[in-house]
Amino acid sequence: MTLALKTSASTTLPSRRDEDWRWTDLYGLLRTLPAPSPRIAETLQPGGPFKGLAKAELAIANGRHNWWPGADSKTVEFFEHQSPDNPYAPEELPMAAMAAEQALEPPVSIIQFNGDDVALLRLVTEATETSHHARVGVVVKTGVSATLLESYEGKGGRYLSNTLIEIIVEDGASLERVVIAEDAEEGVGVSTAIVRIAPGAKFAQTVLTSGARRQRIETRVNHPGAQAEARLDGAYLLDAQRHADLTTVVTHAGVEGVTSQLTKGMVTDQARGVFQGRIVVSPGADQTDARMGHHALILSEKAEIDAKPELLIFADDVSCAHGNTIGALDEDALFYAEQRGIPQAEAKAMLTVAFVGEVVDRIEHEGAREIAAAWVARKLGSV
């Protein structure tokens, strides 16, 4: 009986009746989980948007993995896990629970950093009206400094690509995760990252996305305090009828934790951006320092942004702040640029790139920062 209920629940798509999914209604769009995606016919080649920045690469194409080892196969190792557990409750994390149950080839792919290195993680989709799931573990061993360059590369339409990524950053280790998500205009992409950072560890991420028909990139960080640091940045650049939802939940469980968050967005045409940022400071998590900023531009009358920044503070001695601004481009700055001879479309693109640039500038990996800057400029060139 319990088993039957669980199976049924974890293939049910979240709908707007679920509080955490009210702005990203998958049920309303798809109704049921589409049939499984086929294997991608051609042999997948290493590459993606971060091509050349790392040799070690895990590419998961329509839910099936390919691993290319790095120059030193001991610094970054790859494992498969055949019989993992599923600790995710469908009512709390429906898509993570679904991925944990449905990912098959293999049930879990694990990238483990034993030494300082960079690895690519690519989630490649070539599908129409089908769905696939992947579950990836990323482990950064004690004291190791690692960079994960992750990409979502979607082609086709009306697919559902669902990814669960479980990240463990051990004592004194650090991980920078940079994500570029490029789904197909009619695709549906969901990615849920569950991040556990140990005392004294650092986790930093930057998510850049151009959205999809529906897209959600969610990050949940279990923060121990204990001088651990988390940085959670993002930028969504949406045109046409694209939708992107950047959701984050950071739970500070102990004293002296630091979280810094900066998300910027631009929506035009009939696009819709969603930002849900929650920082929870648990009882006793004193001396927490948490800052959250979400700032977005709406460049057309039919575009929409829904933002829900939340600070839930149950400790006394904390330093927490959040800021949320949504508006149009500064007309005065626009006229100033035009008066100097920059045509309006180019001036708008320049000002928008500059607006988003603050997020890109916080990327620490130099090569990734350059690729991110070029990606943003390319996306906004057509605005």
Partner 1 sequence: MLKIQNLHARVEEKPILKGVTLDVPAGEVHAIMGPNGAGKSTLSYVLSGRGGYEVTEGSAELNGDDLLALDPAERAAKGLFLSFQYPLEIPGVPALTFIRTALNAQRRARGEDEIAAPAFLKLAKEKAASLKIDFDMLKRGLNVGFSGGEKKRMEILQMAMLSPKFLILDETDSGLDIDALKIVSEGVNALRSPERGMLVITHYQRLLDYIKPDKVHVLAAGRIVASGGPELALQLEAEGYDRYVGAAA
Binding site for partner 1 (CB under 8 A): 330-333, 335-344, 346-347, 350-351, 353-355, 357-358
In the complex, minimum distance from the CB of residue 299 to partner 1, in angstroms, rounded to a whole number: 16
Closest CA to 326 of 270, 268, 278, 264: 264
Complex with partner 1: residue 45 or 344, whichever CB lies closer: 344
State in Å, rounded, how far the first CA of the chain is from the last one.
53
In the complex, minimum distance from the CB of residue 356 to partner 1, in angstroms, rounded to a whole number: 8
The two three-digit tokens of residue 44, written as one number: 């997948």
In the complex, minimum distance from the CB of residue 335 to partner 1, in angstroms, rounded to a whole number: 5
Complex with partner 1: residue 284 or 343, whichever CB lies closer: 343
Closest CA to 194 of 243, 248, 147, 265: 248
Longest CA span, the chain: 71
Separation in Å, CA 162 to CA 33, 124, 136, 215, 256: 11, 11, 11, 10, 34
Complex with partner 1: residue 83 or 340, whichever CB lies closer: 340
How many Cα atoms sit within 13 Å of 23 on the Cβ side?
Answer: 19
Complex with partner 1: residue 314 or 336, whichever CB lies closer: 336
In the complex, minimum distance from the CB of residue 349 to partner 1, in angstroms, rounded to a whole number: 10
d(CA 56, CA 217): 24
Closest CA to 169 of 221, 237, 117, 244: 221
d(CA 255, CA 332): 45
Complex with partner 1: residue 311 or 350, whichever CB lies closer: 350
Handedness of CA 48, 52, 53, 54 (dihedral sign): positive
Complex with partner 1: residue 289 or 338, whichever CB lies closer: 338
In the complex, minimum distance from the CB of residue 279 to partner 1, in angstroms, rounded to a whole number: 26
In the complex, minimum distance from the CB of residue 180 to partner 1, in angstroms, rounded to a whole number: 20
In the complex, minimum distance from the CB of residue 331 to partner 1, in angstroms, rounded to a whole number: 7
Please, are residues 161 and 125 in contact by the beta-carbon 8 Å criterion?
A: yes
Complex with partner 1: residue 5 or 328, whichever CB lies closer: 328
